[in-house]
Amino acid sequence: MRIAFVEVQNFRKLKSVRIDFSSKTTLFVGANNSGKTSAMVALRQFLVERKSFSTNDFTLSNWIAINEIGSAWLEEAGGHEAKDRDLAKWEKLLPALDVWLDVKENEVHYVRHLLPTLDWTKGILGVRLRLEPKSIENLYKEFIAAATAARDAKEAAKNPQDESSKITVNLWPCSLRDFLDRRLKGHFEVRGYILDQDKCKLPESGKANPQPISMDSDPLDGDPFKGLIRINQINAQRGFSDASGFADAEDDINSSDEKPRLSGQLRSYYARHLDPFDMPEASDLAALQAIEDAQSLFDERLKTGFGPSLQEVEALGYPGVTDPRITIATRIRPTDGLNHSAAVQYEVVQQLDGKSLRLPEEYNGLGYQNLISMVFRLMSFRDSWMKVGKASKRPVEEGESLDHAPLHLVLIEEPEAHLHAQVQQVFINKAYAILRKHDQLGDKETLCTQLVVSTHSSHIAHECEFKDLRYFRRLPCEEGGKAPTTTVENLSEVFGTGDETEKFVTRYLKATHCDLFFADAAILVEGAAERMLVPHFIQAQFEGLSQAYISILEIGGSHAHRFRPLVDKLGLTTLIITDLDAVDPKANRQSRQPVRGQGLVTGNATLEKWIPEKCSLDDLLSLTADKKEKKHSLSNGVRVAYQIPIKAVLAENGQEEEALSNTFEDAFAYENLKLLKSLVGTGLIKKFKDAISAKTTSAELGAELFQILKECKSKAEFSLELLFLQDPQALKIPTYIKEGLEWLGAELKKKQEEILSQGTGLTAKAECNK
């Protein structure tokens, strides 16, 4: 049995999303503020911490409708017709988590209390956990009573003889949202409902299609997953910078995760699984005897040491003849030896005499503390689930199965904190194996472990299979007053199955980096020259872009189009900087210097197959800027930037003429003629300088530059030498690249303004009427 997928509704940024779970490790990736943490919190709060919800967990835009319900109630209380007094009006506004389990035929006995019908034998089982009012009637009555009391108080404070005495202060509650900010826990609770497998629908346009629940459906008694799913979590705030204090080391989902220390984890693990005083076995007797002997010796030493002091106290007349006498005794427990700051130490130097120089745990690097702590927690989670050692003899808790829960779900938030890049990769490769290292686990399918990790680390994403990545994509506002939300993309579905393009893209990302999954935008560039210079162009002249998280990938014009399915799936704002690559279709597609009216075409697959989907050179040279752009959504799009005609001055008479370039290098040369004439360099720079000095027309110079570049074996050297000889601030950006970067900056600015402005409209509608 395993979780096949979950669907989250109306929880923070997750308005309606489906998240597919991998059979082993599922990785949540995405840019900042894309909803990864919301998903982790939703799993935690619905599955375990059911009393930790607040009004901030409702999707922000839903408060408009909820406040309208409150307004309708106030009108009703004023004598109007009763309305909105049942769950129907609330159903599409309430936070909910649908958990769909994939259950095998031999596992039906685990879920018999969740079966929708007696005929059900195997497949998927769905349960909805929904935060809903305990009693709408009671909620209505208390809200009306509180609102009426506030209104009456304001009326009573008015002085009819003095208009200036009008009270303008807002008293609680001024809206239903305002009321629930204080009273949510008293009026709302999580209830479970069985879902119908036949009504389970696939998402549409990235949005889940959760099935409605009949108004006469009865909720399940208690927690439907108690004894069925064991859940542990390592959250993001692990507090390793502060060595003082410790919370429960097992870190079951209910425990505080504040100020953790490895010594505390060891102490907790010892108490759960190893303590010889707890249900002693034959193997514990030697240890118990040693402890008792040590305790007796210590008691004798204390009696001798405190004897004079106690006699001095007795000289004061206490204790008297009938008073009990003071004695000193000890109680030694092994865990006491772990209850100090130096209980866990690190060997720093191994000396020749066999002794070691050691330091307490807080003196080790934060990365090692984090790594060791996380690994130890995973082992503790596993051993508690499998009831290793003393845990197997403890009484079974109420509602817990005598056997192990068939499913173990472990949530880890941002494991990369403080970890070196290579250590991040090692951890994500080993984490699942640690959770399965037990005789009853391993490759056996009787008991299932699912690990869910949220991360901002491209190094962790690099180590995971493409099929295990779930990309959280921010969606723009669809209409006025609506907040941006999130959709979740299953990247295993990007290319279908067995696609050569998928193999290329995944191999490429493995060979380079996975920054694409965490970026605000992407720039795909043609070659090494652009890869080196474009960041300098951005830094020098595009302040807004320099402050954004932009992933720049060098992929070449012949392969850029292979990224189209991935870019479309991610919905990532993307600029493609590529080359015109003119070829002659009548001469076996041989490369040519661009010339109008000669029937030339582009040899660039990106221009031909992706955007603008044109191959004629004349068409490409005449294309307007708006035709070089495609939209994913309201604020996400893709634009291509390739060499365009510019006006250049080569002749001494200062006359302008059209110049057509084919690659980044000759486009740069046309834009920086004076600069290249003045540089003293070698390689391409010297050849360009000589050509510019010798030629007087753009056609002649173009032909010469074309031949120079055709014979060039290393174009990257050109960029390196430019950076060495010249401050990037003095370089003139080729026009086609400048136009592309201006478009990218405008797109990101629109996105930013949308995010900043959406809250204002919502707040105005959700706030009290003043």
pLDDT tens for 30-61 read: 988 899 999 999 999 999 899 999 999 999 98
User: Is position 618 within any domain?
Assistant: yes
The pLDDT of residue 376: 84
Residues 528 and 673 in one domain: yes
Within a domain: 476: no
Whether residue 631 is contained in a domain is answered as: yes
Structure-token pair, residue 43: 């799993």
Position 277, amino acid: F
pLDDT at position 450 is 98
- What is the number of structural domains in the chain? 3
- Mean pLDDT for 696-721 is 86
Assigned token pair, 765? 């509608």
For the CA atoms of the chain, what is the radius of gyration?
Answer: 35
What is the Cα 306 distance to its own chain's centre?
Answer: 60
CA angle 652, 656, 661 (to 5 degrees): 110
The pLDDT of residue 241 is above 50: no
In a domain, 361, yes or no: no
By percentage, how much of the chain surpasses pLDDT 90? Answer: 45
Q: Verify that 615 and 726 share a domain, yes or no.
A: yes
* 221 in the same domain as 286: no
In a domain, 762, yes or no: no
pLDDT for 243 beyond 50: no
CB 615 within 8 A of CB 625: no
Which of 332, 360, 394 is at the close of a domain?
332
Q: Does 320 lie in the same domain as 178?
A: no
Residue 571 has pLDDT above 70, yes or no: yes
500 belongs to a structural domain: yes
Indicate whether 74 and 143 sit together in one domain: yes
Is the pLDDT higher at 315 or at 85? 85
Strand (E) or helix (H) holding 290: helix 285-314
Going edge to edge, which strands form the sheet with 590-591? 590-591, 582-584, 601-602
Residue 513 covered by a domain: yes
Is 305 found in the same domain as 181?
no
Please say which residue of 301, 332, 363 terminates a domain: 332
CA distance 603 to 582: 6
Helix, strand, or coil here: 128? strand
Within this chain, do residues 515 and 663 fall inside the same structural domain, yes or no?
yes
Identify any residues that bridge with 631 across adjacent strands, giving them in sequence order: 637
Residues 618 and 713 occupy one common structural domain: yes
In sequence order, which residues have a C-beta less than 8 Å from that of residue 96 and are 6 or more positions away? 8, 9, 10, 11, 128, 129, 130, 131, 210
Q: Which residues of 476-490 are buried (b: 16+ CB within 10 A; e: fewer)?
A: bbeeeebbbbbbbbb
In a domain, 485, yes or no: no
The answer to whether the peptide bond before residue 612 is cis (omega within 30 degrees of 0) is yes
Residues 214 and 293 grouped into a single domain: no
Verify that 73 and 202 share a domain, yes or no: yes
Closest CA relative to residue 494, chosen from 573, 564, 566, 570: 566
CA distance 544 to 503: 35
Contacts of 216 (CB under 8 A, 6+ apart): none
Q: Report the pLDDT value the prediction gives residue 766, as an integer from 0 to 100.
A: 40
Clarify whether residues 589 and 692 are in a common domain: yes
Residue 316 pLDDT? 61
Residue 178 sits in the same domain as residue 304: no
Write out pLDDT tens, residues 402-438.
578 999 999 999 999 878 888 898 899 999 999 999 9
* pLDDT of res. 157: 76
Show the domain range for 590.
Answer: 494-752
Average pLDDT, the chain: 83
Alpha carbons within 13 angstroms on the beta-carbon side of residue 388 total 17
